[in-house]
Structure 1
Amino acid sequence: MRSITLLALTLAPLACQAVQLNDDFTLEVDLALVSDYRTRGISQTQNDPAAQAGATLIHSSGLYAGAWTSNVDFGFGLKTRQEVDYYAGWYWQATDEVSLDIGYLKFTYPKESQFNQSEVYAILAAYGFKLGANYSNDAENIFGEQQDILYSYVGYGTTLPLDVGLELRYGRNDFKDPMFWSASGKSEDDYHEWEAKLTRDFLGVTWGLSYIDTDLSESECASNFGFTDVCEATWVASVSKTF
């Protein structure tokens, strides 16, 4: 379970809507309500809504550090009801259209520390396209042993008529060890996921609607997460605000 409960961190351009504290530091605060908290295609809330908040302190050099949190529900009577992530990195903007974001991300789960893990990440953005990768070497497999995980993805974002934003992503989660078993007993060590999202600013907030899916079957989903419906296709509505 822990190996999938990851935040796909993708920072917006770091100057966007941030509050200027002084000549060197700015602060960005993000608040969101979502109808389902999905990470890399997998529900972290049993398909229920989530409230999320984050804050990022940004230096004029491009260095940044912050924290982000969301409620979670993994079922099976697990005590944790919260994910708290800490991150730090460097954002470099070569031109208005080309940027590089590299950093470190730590995931923590109060009362269920066995799910804690860390990642390093890199995101190259150019002319609306994104190429990203997150690597972890301290995630547990279903046998409680640490293993390597590489999540890689491609994305694209643009603005449609009427100021509607379009965001697309296709990703692959690749595990060192087999993690999923089909009804026939065949094992897999990876899966693919994708998302298409429309956004629109209205009444001072950003409204979003996403279609999210994975290529995991019900039996493969249940073999790792214990449920058949946390990996299936869904629509996710969201409302968010950045200060």
Structure 2
Amino acid sequence: MRFSGSIITTAAFCLAATHATALPLSDSGFSLDTTLTALSDYRSRGISQTLGDPALQVTSVLSHESGAYLALFTSNYDLGKATREWDYIAGWTIPLADEVALDLGWAKYEYHGESAQNYSEYYGSLSAYGVTLGAHYSDDLADKESYFYGYLGYSVALPFETTLDLRYARSDYKDEVFFNTSGKGRSRYDDWQVSLSRAWLGLDWKASYIDTNLSKSECLSYSGYDDLCGATLVAEVGKTF
């Protein structure tokens, strides 16, 4: 069975590509951000990738003033025989107007210990005034099956230097991969997330409520576990260097 890779959002790369505190690399126009993050659970597209256990992740983004960037992400992982996930991303952020940007790219997901899970996908997003509409597409799943992930997000600044992020998304596979107790299958599911984040004491703090519309039996048929797709609260703390 194939699992969705990291949902490092393209909006995060838009931010990284223009981050004022990124480490400049001489006068070349390049800068480097590296972020270390600890999470109580690694959820990707609503589904736990660590059996509900904590995760320690590293993200490095090499960006150019033109908007081009390369990124590397790694995390502990615990589904199937795989024990670690590695993501390789290349993209380009294109400013269209004040507070409006287009982000396009390609990502490769690799799973150490179970290479059959490896796949790649193309992605794109349009962000305007806090609203982001994005899509990911792959024709590189097992047996060359296709996969589509689309989402709508909204980010707004709140008092006390806090940010509220909302996201609603849909994953759609070519074939039925989720089955309930009666044996009825479907090819798609929805997930949603509500997050509050704030910088404090030199660290970035975030709390998220995450859920999907998968039943326990559908989750079991897909992942081998029935408790990885339900509602949960995820706490995380990160530091960018």
Question: Same fold by TM (over 0.5)?
Answer: yes
2:9 corresponds in structure 1 to 9
> How many Å separate the matches in 1 of 2:167 and 2:9?
13
Q: What is the correspondence of 1:35-54 to structure 2 with a 5 Å cutoff? A: 35-54=40-59
State the Cα deviation string for residues 34-70 of structure 1 (Å, max 9, x = none). 0000000000000000000011111121111121100
Residue aligned with 2:145, SS? strand
> How many Å separate the matches in 1 of 2:206 and 2:225?
26
1:91 corresponds in structure 2 to 93
2:202 corresponds in structure 1 to 204
Residue aligned with 1:66, SS? strand
- Establish whether residue 153 from structure 1 lines up as the match of residue 151 from structure 2: yes
> How many Å separate the matches in 2 of 1:6 and 1:217?
22
Q: Which amino acid aligns with 1:45?
A: T
Gaps of 5+ in 2: none
Residue aligned with 2:140, SS? strand
Q: What is the correspondence of 1:10-159 to structure 2 with a 5 Å cutoff? A: 10=10, 11-13=13-15, 14-16=17-19, 17-23=21-27, 24-75=29-80, 78=81, 80-140=82-142, 145-159=143-157
Shift, 1:172, TM fit: 0.2
Shift, 1:9, TM fit: 2.9
Q: Which amino acid aligns with 1:3?
A: F
Q: Which amino acid aligns with 2:33?
A: E
Gaps of 5+ in 1: none
> How many Å separate the matches in 2 of 1:7 and 1:89?
15
My pick for the range that moved more, 35-44 or 55-64, is 55-64
Aligned alpha-carbon RMSD (Å):
1.2
Q: What is the correspondence of 1:156-175 to structure 2 with a 5 Å cutoff? A: 156-175=154-173
Structure 1 runs of 4+ with >4 Å offset: none
Shift, 1:183, TM fit: 0.8
> How many Å separate the matches in 2 of 1:38 and 1:12?
21
> How many Å separate the matches in 1 of 2:98 and 2:36?
26
Distance 1:104 1:2, change over 3 A: same
My pick for the range that moved more, 12-21 or 56-65, is 12-21
> How many Å separate the matches in 2 of 1:88 and 1:34?
25
Q: Which amino acid aligns with 1:238?
A: E
Q: Which amino acid aligns with 1:98?
A: V
Q: Sequence identity, in percent?
A: 47
Q: Which amino acid aligns with 2:24?
A: Q
* 8 Å contact kept, 1:7–1:39: yes
Normalising by structure 1, we get a TM-score of: 0.94
